[in-house]
């Protein structure tokens, strides 16, 4: 991911002699925070560099949502620490310092500072403390509560090519038993509507073709601000504010919170893509109750049927967890049957990760690792068959493709059915303008990806 210095109302300070290199891991929400750090550092006059060897300051924005994410963060951190030269400083930011700062200091003694995710907006103050010649020991800037004034003039966006993410809220107030996000991020806090619209206008002025709305739970947006059906209201206002942006995509909807008004607005406004990511996590009511998730599976059936009736072209993505404590073979088979029945367009599958201090941590992690992996493979095999059939149904159709790269006589892009980095791609037999929406006739289908040629008709 490359980060850019975004236009901002405050005049940047003169360039500093101190340079920094930043690496962000994990989800798009982390990427947005990292971009915010870059904006604040730019205002303070610090210089970015893509070369970690030349940087005075190494910053790694970490993820620790589940064990594999912690392992990735630790591996990347150790790699930076091993290459750290005399005079360089290593700052660990993000979710992992917020979750377990002592574990980082014990695992990687070369770390000079820790910055928790709830106070990433204090990045400049922390860097100045790191650079003090009389500093004694690591700088630890980790607090349980977010600051009162969370840098309201910093855009909460991350631009990747012609697409951009806008974080509309942070934190989560859902009671899911397996999830550590509320422990890391705290309760859900929505950004004021006007600030989100200002971010969208900033992106539109830069020529962005796709805006992706993200939060831990986008369907909670605005509830703490007194907005009723806040996400639907936001979508309506976005269409008014940035009519020149052709694609607006919604991620991370919560089961039971997809309202009739939200569906109606998605169906009525072509700018809002007929695509919805709604993580369901399981389909057996008893497993869902143990997860402390909505257990009304019939609601899912009714809502998906309504969405498909109002938006016949809709692509629905979901995720499931297999191997949750107590999951029996019968419960898992019920999940398989449900996935076959619903024929979702996109499915991600995770094996259960036992997370300390979560309610599920009190349950025995009683599904053996090999059974978890076997169940994941069975579910993914089923979904590959569904995905292949759906992709084959697209052969011969003409779809708009957002071009993201080109070379060696081919281009790579995405249709409205595909979110960046998690869904499929389209390969086109021609080098096309990057960042443009191009009509493409689909000629071949694989389980996840498509092939096509530019349509000139």
Question: What are the tens digits of pLDDT across the range 329-374?
Answer: 999 999 999 999 999 999 999 999 999 999 999 999 899 999 999 9
Cα–Cα distance measured from residue 352 to residue 331, given in angstroms and rounded to the nearest whole number: 15
* The predicted structure's pLDDT at residue 70: 92
Q: What does the mean pLDDT of the chain come to?
A: 94
Whether 435 shows a pLDDT value over 90: the answer reads yes
How far, in whole angstroms, is CA 93 from its chain's centroid? 17
Query: Is the confidence at residue 168, as pLDDT, over 60?
Result: yes
Q: Does position 1 have pLDDT exceeding 60, yes or no?
A: no
Task: Give the C-alpha separation, 452 to 426, whole Å.
Answer: 7
- Quick one: pLDDT at residue 10? 52
When pLDDT is cut at 50, 70 and 90, the band that residue 49 belongs to is very high
pLDDT of 376 > 80? The answer is yes
Output the CA–CA distances (angstroms, integers) from residue 101 to 62, 64, 92, 94, 151, in the order listed: 12, 12, 9, 10, 24
Residue 244 has pLDDT above 60, yes or no: yes
pLDDT of residue 152: 80
| pLDDT higher than threshold 80 for residue 139 | yes
Residues 6+ apart with CB under 8 A from 123: 37, 40, 41, 59, 93, 115
What b/e string do you get for 53-82 counting C-beta neighbours within 10 Å, with b at 16 or more?
eebbbbbbbbbbbbeebbeebbeebeebbe
pLDDT of residue 145: 75
- Asked if 225 and 193 touch (Cβ cutoff 8 Å), the reply is yes
Residue 11 has pLDDT above 70, yes or no: no
Residues linked to residue 412 through DSSP beta bridges, in sequence order:
405, 427
pLDDT the model gives residue 149 = 58
Measured distance CA(399)–CA(64) in Å, rounded: 37
Tell me the C-alpha to C-alpha distance, in Å, between residue 379 and each of 166, 297, 389: 32, 18, 16
User: Rounded CA gap, 117 and 142, in Å?
Assistant: 8
At residue 6 the predicted structure's pLDDT band, cuts being 50, 70 and 90, is: low
Dist. CA 416–CA 274, nearest whole Å = 7
Q: What is the pLDDT of residue 106?
A: 96
Q: What is the mean pLDDT of residues 105-134?
A: 95
Asked if residue 42 has pLDDT above 70, the reply is yes
C-alpha 264/C-alpha 261 separation (Å) is 5
pLDDT category, 98, cuts 50, 70, 90? very high
pLDDT-derived band at 148 (thresholds 50, 70, 90) equals low
Mean predicted confidence (pLDDT) in 378-401:
97
**Tokens describing residue 52:** 């970690």
Across the range 107-134, mean pLDDT stands at 95
User: d(Cα 402, Cα 160) in Å, to the nearest integer?
Assistant: 12
Token pair 């998605």 is found at 266
Is the model's pLDDT at 144 over the cut of 80? yes
- Grade residue 265 by pLDDT with cuts at 50, 70 and 90: very high
Task: Examine the pLDDT at 263 and tell me if it is beyond 80.
Answer: yes
């Amino acid at each position: 991911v490359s980060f850019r210095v975004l236009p901002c109302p405050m005049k940047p300070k003169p360039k500093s002699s101190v340079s920094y290199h930043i690496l962000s891991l994990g989800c798009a929400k982390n990427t947005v925070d990292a971009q915010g750090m870059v904006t604040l550092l730019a205002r303070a006059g610090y210089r970015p560099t893509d070369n970690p060897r030349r940087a005075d300051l190494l910053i790694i924005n970490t993820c620790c949502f589940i064990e594999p994410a912690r392992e990735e963060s630790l591996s990347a951190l150790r790699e930076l620490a091993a290459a750290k030269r005399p005079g360089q400083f290593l700052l660990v930011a993000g979710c992992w310092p917020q979750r377990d700062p002592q574990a980082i200091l014990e695992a990687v003694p070369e770390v000079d500072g820790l910055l928790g995710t709830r106070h990433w907006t204090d990045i400049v103050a922390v860097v100045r403390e790191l650079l003090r010649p009389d500093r004694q020991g690591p700088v630890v800037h980790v607090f349980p509560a977010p600051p009162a004034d969370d840098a309201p003039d910093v855009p909460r966006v991350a631009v990747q090519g012609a697409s951009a993410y806008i974080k509309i809220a942070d934190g989560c107030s859902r009671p899911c038993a397996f999830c550590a996000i509320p422990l890391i991020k705290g309760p859900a806090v929505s950004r004021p509507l006007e600030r989100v619209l200002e971010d969208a206008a900033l992106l539109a002025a830069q020529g962005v073709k796709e805006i992706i709305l993200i939060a831990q739970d986008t369907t909670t947006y605005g509830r703490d601000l007194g907005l009723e059906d806040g996400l639907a209201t936001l979508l309506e206002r976005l269409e008014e504010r940035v009519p020149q942006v052709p694609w607006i995509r919604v991620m991370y909807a919560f089961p039971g919170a997809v309202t009739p008004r939200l569906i109606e607005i998605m169906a009525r406004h072509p700018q809002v893509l007929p695509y919805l990511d709604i993580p369901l996590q399981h389909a057996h009511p008893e497993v869902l109750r143990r997860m402390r998730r909505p257990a009304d599976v019939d609601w899912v059936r009714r809502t998906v049927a309504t969405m498909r009736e109002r938006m016949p072209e809709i692509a629905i993505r979901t995720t499931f967890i297999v191997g949750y404590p107590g999951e029996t073979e019968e419960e898992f088979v019920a999940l398989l049957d449900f996935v076959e029945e619903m024929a979702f367009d996109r499915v991600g599958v995770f094996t259960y990760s036992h997370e300390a201090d979560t309610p599920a941590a009190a349950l025995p992690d009683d599904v053996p690792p090999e059974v978890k992996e076997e169940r994941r493979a069975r579910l993914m095999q089923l979904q590959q068959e569904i995905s292949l059939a759906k992709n084959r149904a697209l052969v011969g159709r003409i779809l708009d493709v957002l071009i993201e790269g080109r070379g060696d006589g081919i281009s790579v892009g995405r249709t409205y059915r595909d979110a960046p980095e998690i869904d499929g791609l389209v390969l086109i037999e021609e080098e096309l303008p990057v960042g443009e929406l191009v009509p493409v006739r689909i000629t071949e289908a694989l389980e996840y990806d498509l092939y096509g040629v530019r349509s000139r008709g």
